[in-house]
Amino acid sequence: MVRELITRPISAVVALVELPGTVQRSLRQANELMESSQQRLEAMQRQTDEALRQAERMNDLLGRVVKLTEPLEFAARGSEYVGGRLKRALLGEEGAPEVRGERFEHAVEDAEAAAVDAEAAAGEAEEAATEAEVVEEKVEADAEETSPDDGRADSDGR
């Protein structure tokens, strides 16, 4: 009992003496954790920004592809129209042979024009596909260059 009366105040004094050191260690650890968290947040922000840039590039590419497919669509519709005119010119509408001959000539001219349009549209689509492949490869290379560490904890658990 006497021993407890003496050791308790001494233990309390020792705890009070060690308190500032303990508080400093706790604050230092908290600051280190906050700094580590801040660095990870910054890395995540960089990743997010890069992902947004890549998404914008892909969106632009898709817009170009859509724009380049429009001539193909028009060419397809034109070929349907020209095919119908050729069919009518060859198989038949009533009328004088001279009129049918003129219609046939117009249908042939329309078919030739549609073929030229289709070739031009196919060339533009081929260029767009090539450009899309180049940009896709660049985006993939950029993504590999900018990918930070995998965010695993350090060996001491932080």
DSSP codes, the chain: -HHHHHHHHHHHHHHHHHHHHHHHHHHHHHHHHHHHHHHHHHHHHHHHHHHHHHHHHHHHHHHHHHHHHHHHHHHHHHHHHHHHHHHHHHH---S-HHHHHHHHHHHHHHHHHHHHHHHHHHHHHHHHHHHHHHHHHHHHHHHHHH-----PPPTT--
Total number of domains in the chain? 1
Q: Is residue 154 part of a domain?
A: no
Q: What is the DSSP string of 63-106?
A: HHHHHHHHHHHHHHHHHHHHHHHHHHHHH---S-HHHHHHHHHH
122 assigned to some structural domain: yes
Q: Region 127-134: what's the mean pLDDT?
A: 76
Query: What's the whole-number mean pLDDT along residues 121-129?
Result: 76
In a domain, 34, yes or no: yes
State the residue range of the domain holding 91: 2-146
The pLDDT assigned to 38 comes to 95
The span from the CA of 56 to the CA of 132, in Å, is 13
42 in a structural domain: yes
82 burial level (CB within 10 Å; 0-12, 13-18, 19+) = buried
Q: What is the pLDDT of residues 29-73, one digit of tens each?
A: 999 999 999 999 999 999 999 999 988 888 888 887 777 777 767
> Does the residue 158 lie in any domain?
no
Record the tokens describing residue 133, joined without a space: 């492949």
Q: pLDDT confidence of 158, banded at 50, 70, 90?
A: very low
